[in-house]
A and B are shown apart, each in its own frame.
Chain A
Amino acid sequence: MPTCSISAAPEAFHPALWRASQLATTSTDCLDTGYAVLSQQLPGGGWPLGVMTELLLPQHGAGELRLLRPALEELGQRPVVLVQPPHDPQALALAAQGIDPARLIWIRGGCQTDVRNRGRQSSDALWAAEQVLRSGCCGALLLWQNHVRGETLRRLHLAAQSSNTLFVMMRPLAAAQDASPAPLRLSVTPAPGGIEIGFVKRKGPQRDAPLFLPLTPSLLQRHALVDRPAPAPAPARSVLPALVE
């Protein structure tokens, strides 16, 4: 009976089909995340290339770059474009994580505080993102946007499909409530000793429990161990001893 074989193994019948209890196999290329625990939970076993991926952050600096670091490193010498990041990216920090500074391109949105220009800056950023995606010559595109309209998202998603660029969009956690065409949406929240990844949307079974990834700034322990300063130089009334606990 053909119907039985379809219901038994729908993924064998067509790659776009999968059961609600299993992860989808994607036809697009994927880039290994560098964390085996996370890769297992993603359809295709890694960050999908050529589609829009959303990372939803409660605040900037929640560990999003540490999460993406192995993938960015894996891209080789292809450029990494940062479009309108919330703060000045520090090339040395990225270099310390293994990303060659020569690969970085920062597209600045100008002065963020100027309210009048904000609309234009945002449209400039979206335009730049679309050009980068359509040209297809960059390895990764990281785009920060707070308020995006649905049609803009669809447009970017469509542009992403014309190349195999790793396209990650950083949005505030509140945007998890809104619909989005991105096939993969993850939330990243800092947790003690690492980050927690929530699966807002993926082609696979729903997972409510967040996934914990042990990710501390790698230099933290090393630096703390090696360079623990001698307590002597602290002035008598310094607050430092109370802080260190």
Chain B
Amino acid sequence: MVVLEQERIVTMSPLARAAGVRVGMRRGGALMLAPDALLHERDPQRELEALNAVALAMLQFTPQVAEAEEATLLLDVGASLRLFGGIRRLCQRVQECLRMLGFSGSLSCAPTARGAWLLARSGARSGGMSRKRGAGAAVYGGRVLKIGSLERQLGRLPCGLLPPLRPYVDWLEGIGCQTLGELRRLPRPGLQRRCGRDVLEMLDAAHGQIPELFEWLQAPPSFRAKLELFDRIEHADALLHGAQRLLQQMTGWLVARQFAVERICLLLEHERGREARDPTLVEIVLAEPTWRDEHLIRLLKERLAKLELPAPVIGLTLEARQVQPMEPLSESLFPEPGGSPEDQQRLLELLVARLGADNVLKAAPLADYRPEQANRWVSVQEKIRPADARAQLPPDMPSLPRPAWLLAKPIALLMRDHRPFYGSPLKMMSGAERIEAGWWGDAETRDYFIAQGQDHAYYWVYRERLRAKGEGEEAAEPRWYLHGLFG
């Protein structure tokens, strides 16, 4: 892939570089060296969007993020070091976040913002020039923690890094001044007269001699992020990577606004134009609001794995539909052995995401005489007040003979020697429990018995009581059914 600006190549993929394409070539030259290269015009709008996306994601590390010249972001991490476990760990987290967003970047840190900027720019230049690197890999511009070593590092950098100094590079080379260290040794009044005030200000700021002012980014009041996919994607699993990028941005936004999310929507956009289709909606509702992405990624993964796409997807949109103020974690001194209620909720949400809400059930017995009606199970997501649940339980529960397993449909039993037969003749072990309830449609008139087969297992059987049809007629032969097993 090759990117052009005004018919000149500005950057290229490692593959194109291997084919011999270089910065500054013309379109024809690039096509000759790499005939099947994809040529793209540089798109400032999309670059800006990308930078905004990264800036939003970076808000999860510090509330102070500012944009600087030449597609760089400045993060003031002074207050975040302890939270993330030191500068090394923080840098790893930032790298990881960049990788998940699908961008490559040059990362450096220094006691002054301008110093870090210079190191990052030099890292981007040398890393881009000297070594081949895979997509998404980040380059270290340098990690400097003390002002003294920063001065030494800056002294070695070329003059051309400072934007206001670029028109004078030839002149500086002419007088034998190639690095910033040599530049600083030049007389200041002369330098200011020839190159302007900006140069000196930038140099002083880099060395921490004058304060720097930034305009910190403000997170937008609501969150909605879009992502255009490079290709038409037909399998829902493949969308997870794109969704992860959007979730990274959302994490940054949530942390910056101190929100926790309760409901998110992922819109899968299909073909636009003539064959336009409504976007497919994947909605995730959380019982416990969260602002971290691990749990959301797990839920999305299961949901997407289950999803069947009606049409190829060309874009993704993520919205935070419902948020509430973030509640800080309460760390208990002694962790509970069974995990916290939040852990249980998270587990249930995960199970529901893959298996569906109607396959993960909790017991909600009803006060009803008929066993099928009494044995009610509802989705775990339904909320039942404990008092209501208790009110539905019979008062003398231990004396109620109920089998642990209830057959979904009673099995009609054969009769042998006037006895019900299920594998072996059944022997009644208890007296009858008469259940007669229900309205017209589902009225039941049954006598339930506990029966034992010759294998000594216990069964719950019932005899259907049939009413005599007329005055003089005898009742028909009673029919027996197996309805449950005692586990």
Contact = CB atoms under 8 A, between A and B. Distances in A.
B397 A96 contact: yes
B456 A190 contact: yes
Contact of A239 (B371, B375, B418): B418
A65 B359 contact: no
A164 interface: yes
B375 A107 contact: no
Contacts of A13: none
Given A66-B487, A107-B359, A137-B347, A227 B403 contact: no
A124 to B, nearest CB: 6
Interface residues of B, number: 64
A192 interface: yes
A78 interface: yes
How would you classify the secondary structure of chain B's contact residues: helix, strand, loop or mixed?
A: mixed
A162 interface: no
Interface string B286-309: 000000000000000000000000
B398 A104 contact: no
A91 interface: yes
Contacts of B375: 88, 90-92
Given A90-B404, A96-B398, A243 B355 contact: no
Given A102-B362, A107-B360, A227-B431, A92 B399 contact: no
B216 interface: no
Interface residues of A, number: 68
B211 interface: no
B281 to A, nearest CB: 23
A101 B389 contact: yes
B394 interface: yes
Given A124-B355, A128-B355, A61 B361 contact: no
A93 B351 contact: no
A96 B486 CA distance: 12
10 contacts: A63-B457, A63-B486, A88-B407, A95-B393, A136-B343, A164-B337, A219-B400, A237-B474, A242-B419, A245-B427
Query: Which 10 residue pairs spanning A and B have beta carbons closest together?
Result: A61-B485, A137-B339, A91-B363, A65-B487, A101-B363, A87-B405, A93-B402, A190-B456, A239-B418, A135-B347
Interface of B: 337-340, 343-344, 346-348, 350-351, 354-355, 358-365, 371, 374-375, 377, 380, 386, 389, 393-394, 397-408, 418-419, 427-433, 450, 455-459, 474-475, 478, 484-487
